[in-house]
């Protein structure tokens, strides 16, 4: 009888401890809008791996790709409300909530990946992440969307003149819209999920994105021409709802912060390693590739810098150009 009671007590206590552990575990819902072949998903998987290993079961990460929880604008709003815990967001849409962040979207602002990393990981980048706290987010780290290039279904692009009249899908971001208008294109801002259908149906002529996206979404099926314009460098931002962040114990906050930085660096390394492979694949798939001279494009977008200098500040723009 005593033995049975002892066994029962052990089983009961085991169940209690297991239940307590289950209650204590926090699941972080991490969303992004692209598919599982994209570098964003590579970044998300690394973040999940590091957080779960480091927390030893106290934190889990569930990834929601393919805009399952909404487009990027919706994700930003959902994080503010605490409905979505975390997301990997292309830098562009953030400007709609935090105008100063749009400085990173100025055309031809960054010359090389190393130039971008130095600024983003330095004081200017940290200042931007800190300011996200005022908007209901915790900015964790800058991963990479990469240098953006132009594709279209109509004609090769070598000069701004070749862009005149082309209907080009852009992120919902005024700097991108103004830049492409300055280059002569018919700028059409729309969510990425809508853009895919519009490209397939021929409702728009083209889009602009890094090579990774062009490959991941098989855009060579609807887009014949690729111009390596490298007209903008787009970071992604690994972000968290401030409400979720504040629920985490300090040691878990430290773990999440470190995991985000390492995942961001993993994302960047993946992009740099694969870029030549992606370009060759697109050529093999039949895309005609041009490498436009940058000088004419720089001249065409001067009015964009003049327009936004008052908003972003001349000193900030010059500091970024100088790699500070």
Question: Regarding predicted confidence, which is higher, 44 or 7?
Answer: 44
Mean pLDDT of 7-31: 58
For the chain, give every domain's residue range: 22-321
pLDDT tens-place string over residues 216-247: 899 999 999 999 999 999 999 999 999 999 99
Write the DSSP assignment of 123-135 as a string of letters. HHHHHHHHHGGGG
Contact between 189 and 171 under an 8 Å Cβ cutoff? The reply is yes
pLDDT at 11: 41
Q: How far apart are CA 44 and CA 264, in angstroms?
A: 9
pLDDT at 227: 98
Contact between 107 and 231 under an 8 Å Cβ cutoff? The reply is yes
Provide the CATH number for the domain formed by 22-321 in this structure: 3.40.190.170
pLDDT band for position 311 (cuts 50, 70, 90): very high
- pLDDT at residue 214 greater than cutoff 50: yes
DSSP for residue 265? H
Q: How far apart are CA 176 and CA 203, in angstroms?
A: 20
pLDDT at 24: 57
pLDDT tens-place string over residues 240-284: 999 999 999 999 999 999 999 999 999 999 999 999 999 999 999
Q: How far apart are CA 308 and CA 240, in angstroms?
A: 28
- pLDDT at residue 3 greater than cutoff 60: no
- pLDDT at residue 16 greater than cutoff 80: no
Mean pLDDT of 85-106: 93
Q: How far apart are CA 61 and CA 308, in angstroms?
A: 39
């Amino acid at each position: 009888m005593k033995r049975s009671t002892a066994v029962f007590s052990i089983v009961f206590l085991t169940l209690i401890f297991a239940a307590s552990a289950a209650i204590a575990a926090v699941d972080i819902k991490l969303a992004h809008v692209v598919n599982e072949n994209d570098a964003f998903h590579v970044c998300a998987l690394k973040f999940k791996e590091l957080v779960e290993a480091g927390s030893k079961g106290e934190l889990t990460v569930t990834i929601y790709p393919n805009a399952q929880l909404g487009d990027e604008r919706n994700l930003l709003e959902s994080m503010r409300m605490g409905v979505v815990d975390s997301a990997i967001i292309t830098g562009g849409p953030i400007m709609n909530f935090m105008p100063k962040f749009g400085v990173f979207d100025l055309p031809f602002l960054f010359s090389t990946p190393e130039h971008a990393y130095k600024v983003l990981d330095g004081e200017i980048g940290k200042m931007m992440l800190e300011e996200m706290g005022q908007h209901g987010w915790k900015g964790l780290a800058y991963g990479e969307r990469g240098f953006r290039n132009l594709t279209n279904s109509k004609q090769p692009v070598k000069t701004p003149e070749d862009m005149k009249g082309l209907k080009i899908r852009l992120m919902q971001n005024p700097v991108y819209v103004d830049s492409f208008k300055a280059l002569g294109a018919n700028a059409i801002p729309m969510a990425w999920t809508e853009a895919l259908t519009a490209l397939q149906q021929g409702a728009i002529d083209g889009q602009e994105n890094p090579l990774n996206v062009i490959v991941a979404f098989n855009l060579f099926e609807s887009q014949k021409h690729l111009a390596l314009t490298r007209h903008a460098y787009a970071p992604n931002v690994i972000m968290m709802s401030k409400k979720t962040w504040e629920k985490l114990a300090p040691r878990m906050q430290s773990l999440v912060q470190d995991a985000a930085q390492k995942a961001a660096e993993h994302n960047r390394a993946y992009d740099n390693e694969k870029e030549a492979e992606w370009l060759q694949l697109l050529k093999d798939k039949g895309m005609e590739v041009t490498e436009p001279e940058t000088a004419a494009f720089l001249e065409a977008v001067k009015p964009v810098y003049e327009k936004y200098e008052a908003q972003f500040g001349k000193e900030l723009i010059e500091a970024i150009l100088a790699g500070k």
